[in-house]
Amino acid sequence: MKDLKSLEVWFVTGSQYLYGEETLQQVAEHSQIIAKSFNDTSLIPVSIVFKPTVKTPEEIYNVCIEANTAKNCIGIIAWMHTFSPAKMWISGLKILQKPLCHLHTQFNSDIPWKEIDMDFMNLNQSAHGDREFGFIMTRMRLRRKVIVGHWQDPKVLDKINVWTRAAAGWNDWQGAKFVRFGDNMRYVAVTDGDKVEAEMKFGYSVNTHGIGDLVKVIGEVTDAEVDKLLQEYKDSYKLADSLQIGNEKYQSLIEAARIELGLQYFLEHGNFKGFTDTFEDLHGMTQLPGIGAQRLMAAGYGFAGEGDWKTAALVRAMKVMGSGLQGGNSFMEDYTYHFNPDNQMVLGSHMLEICPSIAHGKPSCEIHPLGIGGKADPVRLVFNVSGGTALNASVIDMGNRFRLLVNEVEAVAPVHELPKLPVARVLWKPLPDMATGCAAWILAGGAHHTCYSQNLTSEHLEDFAHMAGIEIVFIDRETRLREFKNELCWNEVYYHLNIK
């Protein structure tokens, strides 16, 4: 997965010439110290780059233009150490296309009670300087993150960490290409949507290739490549008996490896960051990609089944956001329920394609029939998933806007063996409880397809949605259905007015 350290966030401090050279010198020194400490801490995954203090409309405009065009710059952290009259920021903020995080901090943590004088007051005045900056961003209806606290406070660092991860996901979408093999699953509504609007809003494109284009590439995979991958399967997973060399299903494993290598070649050479397929369109393919889709997801590609390009793109962005963190992100589907009144849970899975990045223990590589699609039995990785906090996220197309839904869940380690279930699976309890969580999700129109995350929080997705300028609704510990319904109504009006 992506090394986030190759990405830059620029640390920009605003001021003005009113204060004189000496004060500006101190402002610059303080900013450099803060930027360096952000860059040096392992708590922030990206590179933080100090930029000289901006003091005029021209300097502000120029740093915004530079940020827009700098390939590795994924956003700006802005701080007003002193007062920076905010009309100076209008022209720059008008053209800034990278995400902005407003850090409301102060160089000193404590007031030096005995020494404090007017010089100190004039130097350390972000308490009102940042309010002026906040006003202009609000006046311009600009979405941004505001982080408040001392710059060495671990809570502040964590909020910056979260925001930079969201910015990395957002940056990854800009110019990204996703390929859809075949169309949307016939008649399915929620997986479909406006790809033109998505490209305008999200920056990624989705284009279709007929399955024949993929089949051709699969046909060109060499035996040597297949042998190497078969060895990797053997080394990485518990291989079912029937798939062992020479046994009755060994040929299917060879085919699965060929499909994976063909897919990988297609994605690499087309510069795609993810893909979708559908079991309704497998002409010329022997099996639906199972293990191949699973392993490519684990390698960082976005994926979703049945032509669901919105979820495939979301899986990719969430994988980028979670780079380097413990746990994983996977394509997921609410599959079936445990409605026992004492212990209500969702069993999440898919026909085949759950990402082994969320697996507990070593997956087993198995082959079983697939009830639909009319093809040969597909090879897949089967595993359980640990308990712990997690979330499901889904993007839907509301017609006049995209909505991101997030449901925080509590995953539950399986207590029963599932000897006859031939797919990877997860058990979870939706927050705040099964009845409320599921009702809220359904009222908000959330898809059956999601990205399941073990390592991202609602805050990552909140920051991400604000960067995208889309609606986001949360279903969490605090959700009350009556208020939630009202929120949906109010949002309907807000987005109808098309304010921003």
Q: How far is the CB of 373 from Mn ion (least distance, A)?
A: 12
Q: How far is the CB of 350 from Mn ion (least distance, A)?
A: 6
Gyration radius of the chain's alpha carbons: 25
Q: How far is the CB of 489 from Mn ion (least distance, A)?
A: 30
Nearer to Mn ion, 281 or 306 (CB): 306
Closest CA to 304 of 99, 465, 450: 450
Q: How far is the CB of 275 from Mn ion (least distance, A)?
A: 15
Residue 412: in which H helix or E strand, if any?
strand 402-412
182 binds Mn ion (CB under 5 A): no
Binding mask 310-349 for Mn ion (x = CB under 5 A): -----------------------x----------------
Nearer to Mn ion, 305 or 430 (CB): 305
Nearer to Mn ion, 260 or 333 (CB): 333
Nearer to Mn ion, 277 or 306 (CB): 306
What is the layout of strands, in order, in the sheet containing 47-54? 47-54, 8-14, 73-79, 100-104, 145-148
Closest CA to 387 of 332, 427, 355: 427
How many positions of this chain bind Mn ion (CB under 5 A)?
3
Check the CA dihedral 290-296-300-302 and report its sign: negative
Tokens (6 digits) for 178: 């996703």
294/287 Cα distance (integer angstroms) = 14
Tokens (6 digits) for 95: 């053209």
308/304 Cα distance (integer angstroms) = 6
Burial profile 8-30: b = 16 or more Cβ within 10 angstroms, e = fewer: bbbbbbbbbeebeeebbebbbeb
Burial profile 289-310: b = 16 or more Cβ within 10 angstroms, e = fewer: bbbbbbbbbbebbbbbbbbbbb
Nearer to Mn ion, 359 or 423 (CB): 423
Place of tokens 């976005």: 302
267/265 Cα distance (integer angstroms) = 6
Nearer to Mn ion, 12 or 332 (CB): 332
Nearer to Mn ion, 185 or 443 (CB): 185
Nearer to Mn ion, 368 or 448 (CB): 448
Q: How far is the CB of 138 from Mn ion (least distance, A)?
A: 41
Identify residue 139 by its one-letter amino acid code. Answer: R
Tokens (6 digits) for 29: 């020194």
Nearer to Mn ion, 4 or 288 (CB): 288
Q: How far is the CB of 409 from Mn ion (least distance, A)?
A: 18
Q: How far is the CB of 386 from Mn ion (least distance, A)?
A: 23
Q: Return the residue nearest Mn ion (CB atom).
A: 305
Binding mask 251-290 for Mn ion (x = CB under 5 A): ----------------------------------------
| DSSP calls for 35-104 | HHHHHH-TTS-SEEEEEEEE-SHHHHHHHHHHHHH-TTEEEEEEE-SS---GGGGHHHHHH--S-EEEEE
Nearer to Mn ion, 99 or 446 (CB): 446
Site for Mn ion in 292-311 (CB under 5 A): 305-306
Beta carbons within 8 Å of 119's beta carbon, 6+ residues apart = none
Q: How far is the CB of 372 from Mn ion (least distance, A)?
A: 11
Q: How far is the CB of 311 from Mn ion (least distance, A)?
A: 9
Q: How far is the CB of 313 from Mn ion (least distance, A)?
A: 16
Interface residues with Mn ion (CB under 5 A)?
305-306, 333
